[in-house]
Chain A
Amino acid sequence: MSCVTTAQVHHEGGYALDTRYILLVGKGNSFKLLKGDNALSISILLHYKIIQHPTVAGTYKIKTSAYYYTINDANGKELLAYHWHPTETPDIPYPHLHIGDPKLKKFHLPTGRVSLEQVLRLLIRDFKVKPKKANWEAILNETQDLFETYRSWH
C-alpha cells in the first residue's frame, strides 16, 4: 500500500483460527489519490481468515475470503470495482468487475482473481497516480510473487 499512500491499514487484530476478520485501508474505508479534475478515491477492503496450512504441518496462512476494490471519481461516483464476496452473494460466487457506466452498473463482468498489487499497478500506470516509492515496481513484483506462490486458487 505504501507505494501509493500513507493511509493507515486498519484491521481487527484477532488471531483465532477460521474466523472471518476485516482489513481495510484509510479511516472511513477510503483514501484520496490525485487532486483537481483527476481526483480519485479508492476503497480497499478484504475479509480474511487465519487457517492451518493445508500441506505444511504446524504452520498457518492467511486466506482471503472476500475482496472489495472500488475506484471512485472526485465526486464519489464509482468508476470501476473489482469484487469477490461469495459469502455475501452466493448467487455471484465468482470474482467480477463492475463498470460505473449506468447501463453496465449492475452487470457482473467475470474476471480471474485480482490481486491488490494488480490494482495498485493499474492506479500508477493508467490512472497516473504518482508512486510514493521509486522502486514501486520491484516492491509490487515481489509481493505479487509471494501472493502467487501461496494462493490456493486463481
Chain B
Amino acid sequence: MPTRKVKRQSHVMTASEGRRLFERQARRSLNMSGEEFIAKWRAGKFNGTSDTPRVMRVAMLLPFAER
C-alpha cells in the first residue's frame, strides 16, 4: 500500500534555525546583516522609523539572535 507523507502541523525550531531566520530577514527586509541590524537597533538608529512593519519584522526576531 502506498504511504502518504503527512506534514506535521508544528515544528520545534533549533537555536541555529532561529538565528538563520533572523539573518535572512535582516538581509531580505532591510538589506543589511543581522549583526548590522543589532548594532543599529541598540544604538537607536531606527528611532522615528522604528515601528514600520519592515523594521519590526526583523526586530521581532531579535530574541533568536540572543539565544
Contacts and interface: CB of A to CB of B under 8 A. Distances in A.
Given A12-B13, A78-B53, A22 B64 contact: yes
Contacts of A66: 60
Interface stretch (A31-39, A82-90, A124-132): A82-90
Interface string B42-59: 000000011111101101
Interface string A91-116: 01000001000000110100000000
Contacts, number: 78
A7 to B, nearest CB: 9
B12 interface: yes
Interface string A69-89: 010000000100101010011
A6 B8 CA distance: 9
Nearest to B51: A89
A98 B52 contact: yes
B19 to A, nearest CB: 12
A53 interface: no
Contact of A92 (B21, B51, B63): B51
Nearest to B67: A12
A10 B57 contact: no
A78 B10 CA distance: 26
Interface of A: 2, 6, 8-13, 20-22, 28-29, 43, 45, 47, 66, 68, 70, 78, 81, 83, 85, 88-89, 92, 98, 105-106, 108
22 contacts: A8-B7, A8-B8, A8-B9, A10-B10, A12-B12, A12-B13, A12-B18, A13-B13, A21-B63, A22-B61, A29-B21, A47-B60, A68-B56, A68-B57, A68-B60, A85-B60, A88-B62, A89-B51, A98-B51, A98-B53, A106-B51, A108-B51
Given A8-B7, A28-B24, A98-B53, 19 more contacts: A2-B9, A8-B8, A8-B11, A10-B11, A11-B10, A11-B11, A11-B13, A21-B63, A22-B64, A28-B21, A43-B57, A45-B61, A83-B56, A85-B59, A85-B60, A88-B56, A88-B60, A89-B50, A105-B52
